[in-house]
Amino acid sequence: RLLIIDFGSQVTQLIARRLRELNVYCEIHPYQNVTDAFLADFAPKAIIFSGGPDSVTREGSPRPPKSAFTLGVPILGICYGQQVMMQELGGLVESGHGTAEFGRAFVTPTGTNLAILDGWFTEGREQVWMSHGDHVSRIAPGFEVFGTSPGAPFAITADVKRNFFAVQFHPEVHHTPRGAKLYENFIRLAGFTGDWTMASYKDDAIAKIREQVGDKRVICGLSGGVDSSVAAVLIHEAIGDQLTCVFVDHGLMRQGEAGEVVSMFRDNYNIPLIAADESELFLGELEGVTDPEVKRKTIGRLFIDVFQKYADEIEGAEFLAQGTLYPDVIESVSFSGGPSVTIKSHHNVGGLPEKMGLKLVEPLRELFKDEVRALGRELGLPEKFIGRHPFPGPGLAIRCPGEITREKLEILRQADAVYIDQIRKHGLYDEIWQAFVAILPVRTVGVMGDGRTYDYACALRAVTSVDGMTADYYPFTHEFLGETATRIINEVKGINRVTYDITSKPPGTIEWE
């Protein structure tokens, strides 16, 4: 396996992505954790030093452990990683006037061939993405220059004997269009054959779960979402009926959703499942609540209470399974430090394990969202289920601005079902990252037949996104919008006006609350 030492770049995750795409198994670890002992234990076949925001010229800035250079494995240093490599091996890095470089640049070869550059330069030069304040002003002994750019005379350097490679630019980003080729050459040189597949991941994960859990019992909270479902099915394959799932229906699910989840897990997979209909409790406590944060906090608190109540009934449970993904894990590393503002209190079962004295089983910790989907396919989960749009923990509560009533929830469910049906019929579901209806806390006047109506207005939302952090509205055709509005108004009693939300994120958020 390959080790990525994270020096805090915003794009470290993308290095892992590129390598996974090449079927190489890798792990990112923050530099603070990578000690000599850690390295000896991890025994990487190759190492990548990521970029990072610090300056190697600053006293106390992050460093890799010295033993990284004596393990005898290939190392690739990127940006900060390149500079730190130079500095540690006897070169010189300076910050100074006019050497900062941000954005597109072109690297040209210096004439000598280098294994990791095989087939890389296409038209005598190659576009790369630079983002650096400091620069290398003297390369370390043993290194030679293989590529230069106007702002970085040492854009690509290498110590060919030791297989140390150092690049000033970021090969992992989209704006270095042929960056994947560099990674490919690097991993081939390091001896990776690219045989890491989802099937092998599944087998490894099952073995790990068995080893971790032994003969103890595991509880898994199902939300109906892809992550917790894949985690549950995987764990069930590993330990069978030592697993019990708990599905809490908070009365804020979409049309038919609660029933689907229960029947799929109970009937298709034979997984022991406690289905708790707690809608009375949740909707009762939410009565009269209009503030979005109060809604979220109320739901989060009740969820923990209820989950705990059911978990207490499962005798001898020692583990709690969670569908934590890689981005959740890594964000806390790369983005730590900055004081950030809470936009929304996210609802998850974060505080649960400590409160309940349970240990965690997180079999998806190393995976990205699309890899979880691939694993789901490997486990035979239905495609319709795997490709589902994300659905927030607080459910329809945050798609119902103002007071939540049963009547409004029912109208919302019906409108949402028609809208999603339209999207599926037009073959747009997979192109859209997330789509839903929000019911607005206003009634407006309309005319239907010869009569006056005074009903709710609703807003359709559909966005494209990669990770939910930023998003753009989906450009439906006017025909689609018109047809959908007509269907909703005709088929859903209680709605007489349909609007389309064309706000991107930022400045909007995807959900309405």
DSSP annotation of 505 reads B
224 is in an annotated binding site: yes
User: Residue 440 in contact with residue 463, Cβ under 8 Å?
Assistant: no
Contacts of 485 (CB under 8 A, 6+ apart): 498
Among 393, 397, 459, 460, binds ligand XMP (CB under 6 A): 393
Task: Please name which of 511, 211, 467 lies closest in space to residue 325, comparing C-alpha atoms.
Answer: 467
Task: Please name which of 369, 361, 323, 376 lies closest in space to residue 20, comparing C-alpha atoms.
Answer: 369
Contact set for ligand XMP, span 130-159 (CB under 6 A) = none
User: Residue 29 in contact with residue 5, Cβ under 8 Å?
Assistant: yes
Nearer to ligand XMP, 343 or 447 (CB): 343
How many other C-beta atoms are found inside a 10 Å radius of the C-beta of residue 357?
Answer: 9
Q: How far apart are the first and last CA of the chain?
A: 42
Q: Report residue 56 as tokens.
A: 């190697």
504 is in an annotated binding site: no
Instruction: Please identify which of the residues 172, 278, 511, 513 carries the catalytic annotation.
Output: 172
Contact set for ligand XMP, span 486-505 (CB under 6 A) = 505
> What is d(CA 148, CA 126) in angstroms, rounded to the nearest whole number?
10
Among 77, 394, 395, 401, binds ligand XMP (CB under 6 A): 394
H/E stretch holding 320 reads strand 317-321
Scanning 60-68, 245-253, 387-395, 404-412 for contacts with ligand XMP by CB under 6 A, the matching segment is 387-395
User: Residue 236 in contact with residue 271, Cβ under 8 Å?
Assistant: yes
Binding mask 336-355 for ligand XMP (x = CB under 6 A): --------x-xx--------
50 is in an annotated binding site: no
Binding mask 448-477 for ligand XMP (x = CB under 6 A): --------------------x---------
Burial classification of residue 476, based on how many CB atoms lie within 10 Å of its CB (0-12 exposed, 13-18 middle, 19 or more buried) = buried
223 is in an annotated binding site: yes
465 is in an annotated binding site: no
Burial readout 169-192 (b: 16 or more C-beta within 10 A, e: otherwise): bbbbbeebeebbbbbbbbbbbbeb
Does 416 participate in binding ligand XMP (rule CB under 6 A)? no
256 is in an annotated binding site: no
Q: Determine whether 478 is an active site residue.
A: no
User: Residue 177 in contact with residue 127, Cβ under 8 Å?
Assistant: yes
Task: Please name which of 246, 248, 210, 390 lies closest in space to residue 320, comparing C-alpha atoms.
Answer: 246
Q: How far is the CB of 394 from ligand XMP (least distance, A)?
A: 5
Q: Determine whether 79 is an active site residue.
A: yes
Contacts of 367 (CB under 8 A, 6+ apart): 201, 325, 326, 375
Does 511 participate in binding ligand XMP (rule CB under 6 A)? yes
Q: Report residue 254 as tokens.
A: 């979409």
> What is d(CA 7, CA 4) in angstroms, rounded to the nearest whole number?
9
226 is in an annotated binding site: yes
> What is d(CA 108, CA 472) in angstroms, rounded to the nearest whole number?
37
Does 434 participate in binding ligand XMP (rule CB under 6 A)? yes
Does 324 participate in binding ligand XMP (rule CB under 6 A)? no
Q: Determine whether 400 is an active site residue.
A: no
Instruction: Please identify which of the residues 26, 79, 245, 400 carries the catalytic annotation.
Output: 79
Contact set for ligand XMP, span 263-302 (CB under 6 A) = none
Q: How far is the CB of 510 from ligand XMP (least distance, A)?
A: 3
How many residues sit in the footprint of ligand XMP (CB under 6 A)? Answer: 13
Instruction: Please identify which of the residues 132, 135, 170, 347 carries the catalytic annotation.
Output: 170
User: Residue 136 in contact with residue 92, Cβ under 8 Å?
Assistant: yes
H/E stretch holding 418 reads helix 406-425
Q: How far is the CB of 299 from ligand XMP (least distance, A)?
A: 8
Scanning 76-84, 106-114, 166-174, 389-397 for contacts with ligand XMP by CB under 6 A, the matching segment is 389-397
Which single residue is written with the structure tokens 């978990």? 311
Binding mask 205-234 for ligand XMP (x = CB under 6 A): ------------------------------
Q: How far is the CB of 296 from ligand XMP (least distance, A)?
A: 6
Q: How far is the CB of 331 from ligand XMP (least distance, A)?
A: 13
**C-alpha count within 13 angstroms, C-beta hemisphere, residue 150:** 8
Does 178 participate in binding ligand XMP (rule CB under 6 A)? no
Binding mask 93-112 for ligand XMP (x = CB under 6 A): --------------------
Which single residue is written with the structure tokens 């000599």? 36
Q: How far is the CB of 350 from ligand XMP (least distance, A)?
A: 11
Return residues touching ligand XMP (CB under 6 A): 344, 346-347, 390, 392-394, 434, 468, 505, 509-511
Residues of each annotated binding site for ATP: 223-229
Active site (catalytic) residues: 79, 170, 172
Residues of each annotated binding site: 223-229
